[in-house]
Amino acid sequence: MNRGYSVSIVVFTIILAVVYLVYTGSYGLVEITIALLVGVGVSLVLAPDLILNPSKMSPRRFITAIYYLVKYFTIIEAKAHWSVLKLILMPSAKYNPAIVRIPYSVTSDYSILLISNSITNTPGTVVIDVDEKRKYLYVHWIDATSVEDQEARKSVSEEFENYAYKIFE
């Protein structure tokens, strides 16, 4: 058992225990014991598959992830909601739906998940298909301003990809 493996088990146990304690909402000694025991059991089985490279875990990445979450659910979501609500509210709104091809350059599965979840969670863009060999996302975009690959990447996924590099790569 090397050092990275045990570090990943400890971190994963703490994450699982915190989720359990937050969900139950009671912080007694019995609850904390149950949370830690179950957390250790689950992470002994799952942590080696879920955390592939323990040396990448650092507090800076966690802080970047929290900063990204806050920014995403306030500023980026509000802008995207407003742009689709305008289409719904204006009676004679013209929009150009298109399925565009967006290249990405990240390698890990978590980064692809973060980028495509971020794209789908913003109203106005939905990921239809992923080509992992050629590294393309196929995105249905309700009001396409550009159909070229790089131009579309700039306005749809560039910001998410920059944060995915900082958090998971």
What is the contact surface with another protein in residues (CB under 8 A)?
Answer: 19, 21-27, 73, 77, 81, 84-85, 87-89, 96-101, 116-117, 120-129, 131, 134, 136, 138, 140, 142, 144, 147
Contact 153, 103 (CB under 8 A): yes
Tokens of 163: 């944060």
| Smallest separation, CB 19 to another protein (Å) | 7
| Smallest separation, CB 99 to another protein (Å) | 5
Any bridge partners for residue 152, and if so which?
none
Nearer to another protein by Cβ, of 7 and 87: the residue is 87
Nearer to another protein by Cβ, of 59 and 97: the residue is 97
Nearer to another protein by Cβ, of 47 and 112: the residue is 112
| Smallest separation, CB 92 to another protein (Å) | 11
Nearer to another protein by Cβ, of 131 and 158: the residue is 131
